[in-house]
Amino acid sequence: MSVCLRSVWTNHPENPRTKSPDSTQLRHISQWVSEILIHNDFTTVYSTKKLSRSEYGEQVKATLCRGACVEVDSDTEAVANEGFKLGCISCKMRGEVPATASVNWYFMASDETEFSHLYSYEDVTGNIIDPRFDERLFWNGSKNTKDLQDGSIFILNVTYNDTGTYRCTFSRVLMYTNYEFETNTNKTIKMNVVPRITRGMASILSEVMMYVSIIGLQLWLVVEMIYCYRKISAAGEEALRESAAEYLAIASESKDNCAGVQAAE
């Protein structure tokens, strides 16, 4: 957050252009940015609590630091009688270009040959078209914006009849200065409903490898401890032998000295 605030500081009226903001100024800017988030307004916003209008002097536009959009594939295995999220993300190639988008979902059951219109979302309003999903389907994508990038939906109380192919369609209009450019993106998801969730082979292998690694590290630690213990014990025994030999040498030398003194007397 501090990185974002420091970037906003470059256009802030209190910026003397010679130093970084202190903690008090960062707090003022933080409140300023919070008001932008609360009102969902990315134009000019004045702080009415910490800094007055006169202190700003002029309108200042803040460019917020936004999170990056990443397209992730949806899960495909749903559990019966539980909820399931059908993910559909379509990122803009130019994030700085304003745009509007609508999302339409289509469904083809496993025993059907054609897609039927399932759901539409446009102008911040969703509409369930397929009666099979009445009161069971909810919007789970981008909220409070017409510039949609996440078109995910959530299905409650999944049934086996929900097994089939789902298609998500993004219709986006990029609004440049002198013209508009329309793009369409389709994503297809094949959903399978199972009685209970099953683990993939990759998950099982990862768990097995984790346990093997833990056991291997423990065995290596035991071997190292035994090796160190034996090495220390051997060093101790050698020191004891050297001490005993030195003691015997000193005792023998003392005895010889005593014998020499007695002979001299």
CA distances, 136 to each of 119, 171, 196, 204 (Å) = 12, 24, 20, 33
My answer on whether 188 and 209 are in the same domain is no
Question: What is the count of structural domains for the chain?
Answer: 3
Please report whether residue 238 resides in a domain: yes
How far is residue 117's CA from residue 166's CA, in Å, rounded to a whole number?
Answer: 10
My answer on whether 20 and 94 are in the same domain is no
Please report whether residue 44 resides in a domain: yes
My answer on whether 103 and 147 are in the same domain is yes
Question: In one letter, which amino acid is 180?
Answer: E
Across all residues in the chain, what is the average pLDDT? 76
My answer on whether 166 and 187 are in the same domain is yes
Please report whether residue 265 resides in a domain: no
pLDDT at 22: 58
My answer on whether 186 and 84 are in the same domain is yes
Please report whether residue 256 resides in a domain: no
Would you give the end-to-end CA distance of the chain in angstroms? 97
CA distances, 69 to each of 94, 162, 174 (Å) = 11, 29, 16
Residues sharing a CB contact under 8 Å with residue 15, sequence separation 6 or more, in sequence order:
9, 21
My answer on whether 189 and 208 are in the same domain is no
Q: Which of 14-18, 129-133, 182-186, 250-254 has the lowest mean pLDDT?
A: 14-18
My answer on whether 17 and 124 are in the same domain is no
Across the range 135-158, mean pLDDT stands at: 92
My answer on whether 29 and 117 are in the same domain is no
pLDDT at 30: 58
My answer on whether 20 and 81 are in the same domain is no
Q: How far is CA 263 from the centre of its chain?
A: 93
The pTM score is 0.54
Across the range 259-265, mean pLDDT stands at: 54
CA distances, 66 to each of 95, 126, 140, 248 (Å) = 9, 25, 20, 82
My answer on whether 213 and 189 are in the same domain is no
Looking at per-residue pLDDT, the higher value among 8 and 180 belongs to 180
Please report whether residue 72 resides in a domain: no
* Inter-residue long-range contacts of 129-135, CB under 8 Å, 24+ positions, other chains counted: 132/161, 133/107
Q: Is the pLDDT of residue 81 over 80?
A: yes
Please report whether residue 189 resides in a domain: yes
Across the range 82-110, mean pLDDT stands at: 90
Are 106 and 117 in contact, with CB atoms under 8 Å apart? Answer: yes
Domain housing 179: 77-194
Q: Could you read off the pLDDT of 16-68 as tens digits, one per residue?
A: 444 455 556 555 555 555 554 444 444 434 444 444 444 444 444 444 455 67
Please report whether residue 64 resides in a domain: no
Two tokens at 239? 């020191």
Dihedrals phi, psi of 176, to nearest 5 degrees: -85, 180
Q: Could you read off the pLDDT of 117-141 as tens digits, one per residue?
A: 999 999 999 999 999 999 999 999 9
My answer on whether 48 and 94 are in the same domain is no
Two tokens at 210? 């984790």
My answer on whether 83 and 185 are in the same domain is yes
Q: Is the pLDDT of residue 142 over 70?
A: yes
Q: Which three-class secondary structure state does DSSP give residue 52?
A: coil
Please report whether residue 66 resides in a domain: no
- Considering the chain, what percentage of its residues have pLDDT values greater than 70? 66
How far is residue 149's CA from residue 252's CA, in Å, rounded to a whole number?
Answer: 95
How far is residue 214's CA from residue 221's CA, in Å, rounded to a whole number?
Answer: 11
